[in-house]
């Protein structure tokens, strides 16, 4: 059936008033988000309300509605307010495909792709951390996400995206590009959607756990399943920090991945038996793919290791606070400082961080659009925004010295080889805001984002510098979540920039 958005709204209104609408009658949000829906804002851009009608929302939270009301009452630009209103609830409105509190299981999709990415969920929930204590159902949902991910990681510590749990009775989604991929250890495609080994996926699970615990002090997430997952994470850290060659020139490989020619549109066959470029020992942990899901050029991703350093510290703090697993806490602290030291020793070259290194002197200077990236190092908690190394690196990243920086008439930012060099991502401008204290820079980045939703009021994956109407992914929950998290950060640290009154706002305080 062909779906016509405006007609649907009328229908939904009628059904709603008789309270009889069911989820199966709701429009696919991919189509819904591709054209303007509800009333326009009163701002110059007249951005539409893009939330699904209440009956079609996948999770309701009164605390989320309260934050939206609070922000609407304070934000001075109605376009920014509308963007916040659309983006902050986007994860709950559209991506909770399954939730059963008794089973302690949930299935959260990324948006327009029906699979759960470990990396995306960590970010899709980051903007809710301050309200877990205000909404026990939302806290239960976060626990269920942590628990299903502990199960996934226990089974497949090297995989990045997953299928619904069998308990949900939801069908697995066929991932056509993964079908001819050869991956070791092998995977079952009823459980795994895509098995790309990305160190930041594991960091994302740790971040979800540590932020949840930090806010709630609820130690129940640290169940047997969770400890099994933590065990696997330490095995990955241990194994993937090893050099490719041992002393007898045996080639060490715990994970390898390759497509046969043509099986993956964005990947050539991977050299060295699916291992990629060899790495020497540095103290950092290697990865196979980037946060963009692209193949790594060199194994040691600086930003991924930075995130790991931070999250291992947070893990240790969480275990210590709960009085649990002293041995894991000890290991976490040791690895954190080893990795940290190695980043500063190997990845910082002439005062500027390289994106990737291989321990042989190979360095790749660039940045990728999403997170963890070099531009997002302060957001990740790895360093302060006034750290000389960050200031110097940031200057390079936001200039012609970064091969993936591009500027057009209306939009600019950092892109990456995942799409094309001339298609920067709004997400890079969000990272830029998290990394500066300069009001002019913040407003410049903010309005580059606000001005470039093509009138749709949602954050897209990328926008062409040649044509602001050329973009992808109108339904991308991570980007929406990251935008709203950034607005909440400004509400706390720079209220005068976005509010009518100069008073900080923190949800629930």
Ligand X SMILES: *[C@@H]1O[C@H](CO)[C@@H](O)[C@H](O)[C@H]1NC(C)=O
Residues that bind ligand X (CB under 6 A): 41-42, 44, 54-55, 57-60, 78, 100, 102-103, 157, 172, 174-175, 179, 184-185, 189, 210-211, 214, 231-232, 234-236, 239, 253-256, 273, 275, 309-310, 313-314, 327-328, 331, 336, 340, 382, 408-410, 444, 447-448, 451, 466-470
In the complex, the smallest distance separating the C-beta of residue 408 from ligand X, rounded to whole angstroms, is: 5
Residues 104, 460: Cα–Cα separation, whole Å:
32
Q: Which is nearer to ligand X, 66 or 214 (CB)?
A: 214
Rg of the chain over all Cα atoms, to the nearest angstrom: 22
Q: Which is nearer to ligand X, 292 or 429 (CB)?
A: 429
The structure tokens 């932020």 sit at: 211
Residues 94, 58: Cα–Cα separation, whole Å:
6
In the complex, the smallest distance separating the C-beta of residue 72 from ligand X, rounded to whole angstroms, is: 8
Query: 401: which 2 tokens?
Result: 């010295």
Residue 52 neighbours by CB distance under 10 Å: 20
In the complex, the smallest distance separating the C-beta of residue 183 from ligand X, rounded to whole angstroms, is: 8
Residues 291, 163: Cα–Cα separation, whole Å:
19
Query: 236: which 2 tokens?
Result: 């990955």
In the complex, the smallest distance separating the C-beta of residue 163 from ligand X, rounded to whole angstroms, is: 7
Which candidate, 117, 226, 220, 215, places its Cα nearest to that of 161? Answer: 117
In the complex, the smallest distance separating the C-beta of residue 247 from ligand X, rounded to whole angstroms, is: 16
Angle at 420 between CA 207 and CA 346, to 5 degrees: 50
Residues 231, 210: Cα–Cα separation, whole Å:
16
Give yes or no for a contact between 328 and 315, defined as CB atoms under 8 angstroms apart.
Answer: yes
Q: Which is nearer to ligand X, 18 or 469 (CB)?
A: 469
In the complex, the smallest distance separating the C-beta of residue 362 from ligand X, rounded to whole angstroms, is: 20
Q: Which is nearer to ligand X, 172 or 243 (CB)?
A: 172
In the complex, the smallest distance separating the C-beta of residue 157 from ligand X, rounded to whole angstroms, is: 5
In the complex, the smallest distance separating the C-beta of residue 336 from ligand X, rounded to whole angstroms, is: 6
Q: Which residues contact 403 (CB under 8 A, 6 or more apart)?
A: 365, 366, 421
Query: 6: which 2 tokens?
Result: 């405006």
* SS3 category, 248: coil
* SS3 category, 184: strand
In the complex, the smallest distance separating the C-beta of residue 331 from ligand X, rounded to whole angstroms, is: 4
- For 402-415, the DSSP string reads STTEEE-SS-EEE-
Residue nearest to ligand X (CB): 273
Which candidate, 341, 343, 336, places its Cα nearest to that of 316? Answer: 336
Q: Which is nearer to ligand X, 270 or 369 (CB)?
A: 270
In the complex, the smallest distance separating the C-beta of residue 93 from ligand X, rounded to whole angstroms, is: 9
Q: Which is nearer to ligand X, 220 or 238 (CB)?
A: 238
Burial of 381 (0-12, 13-18, 19+ CB in 10 A): middle
Which candidate, 267, 289, 355, 374, places its Cα nearest to that of 119? Answer: 289
Q: Which is nearer to ligand X, 381 or 417 (CB)?
A: 381
Which candidate, 306, 305, 296, places its Cα nearest to that of 274? Answer: 296
Rounded (10°) CA dihedral 171, 175, 180, 183: -80
């Amino acid at each position: 059936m062909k779906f016509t958005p405006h007609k649907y709204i009328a229908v939904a209104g009628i059904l709603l008033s008789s309270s009889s609408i069911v989820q199966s009658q709701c429009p696919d949000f991919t189509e819904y988000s591709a054209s303007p829906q509800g009333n326009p804002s009163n701002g110059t851009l007249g951005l539409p309300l893009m939330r699904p009608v209440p009956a079609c929302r996948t999770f309701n939270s009164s605390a989320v509605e309260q934050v939206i009301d609070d922000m609407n009452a304070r934000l001075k630009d109605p376009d920014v307010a509308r963007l916040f209103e659309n983006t902050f609830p986007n994860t709950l409105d559209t991506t909770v495909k399954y939730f059963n509190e008794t089973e302690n299981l949930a299935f959260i999709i990324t948006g327009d792709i029906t699979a759960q990415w470990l990396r995306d969920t960590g970010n899709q929930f980051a903007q809710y951390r301050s309200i877990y204590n205000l909404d026990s159902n939302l806290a239960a949902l976060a626990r269920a996400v942590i628990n299903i991910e502990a199960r996934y990681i226990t089974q497949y510590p090297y995989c990045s995206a997953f299928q619904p749990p069998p308990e949900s009775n939801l069908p697995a989604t066929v991932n056509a590009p993964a079908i001819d991929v050869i991956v070791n250890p092998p995977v079952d495609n009823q459980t795994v959607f895509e098995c790309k080994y990305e160190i930041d996926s594991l960091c994302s699970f740790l971040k979800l756990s540590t932020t949840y615990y930090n806010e709630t002090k609820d130690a129940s997430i640290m169940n047997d399943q969770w400890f099994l997952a933590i065990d696997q994470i330490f095995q990955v850290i241990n194994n993937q920090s090893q050099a490719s060659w041992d002393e007898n020139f045996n080639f060490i490989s715990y994970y390898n991945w390759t497509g046969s020619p043509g099986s993956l549109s964005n990947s050539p066959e991977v050299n060295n038996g699916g291992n990629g470029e060899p790495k020497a020992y540095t103290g950092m942990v290697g990865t196979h793919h980037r946060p963009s899901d692209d193949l790594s050029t060199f194994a040691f991703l600086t930003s991924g290791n930075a995130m790991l350093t931070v999250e291992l510290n947070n893990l240790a703090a969480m275990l210590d606070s709960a009085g649990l697993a002293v041995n894991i806490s000890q290991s976490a602290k040791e690895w954190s400082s080893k990795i940290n030291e190695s980043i500063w020793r190997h990845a910082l070259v002439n005062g500027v961080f390289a994106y990737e290194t291989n321990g042989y002197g190979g360095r790749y200077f660039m940045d990728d659009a999403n997170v963890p990236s070099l531009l997002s190092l302060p957001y990740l908690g790895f360093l302060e925004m006034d750290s000389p190394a960050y200031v110097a690196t940031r200057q390079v990243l936001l200039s012609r010295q970064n091969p993936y920086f591009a500027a057009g008439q209306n939009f600019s930012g950092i892109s990456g080889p995942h799409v094309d060099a001339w298609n920067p991502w709004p997400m890079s401008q969000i990272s830029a805001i998290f990394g500066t204290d300069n009001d002019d820079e913040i407003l410049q980045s903010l309005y580059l984002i606000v001005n470039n939703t093509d009138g749709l009021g949602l954050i897209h994956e990328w926008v062409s510098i040649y044509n602001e109407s050329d973009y992808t992914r109108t339904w991308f929950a991570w980007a929406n979540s990251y935008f709203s998290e950034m607005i909440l950060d400004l509400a706390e640290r720079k209220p005068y920039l976005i509010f009518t009154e100069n008073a900080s706002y923190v949800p629930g305080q």
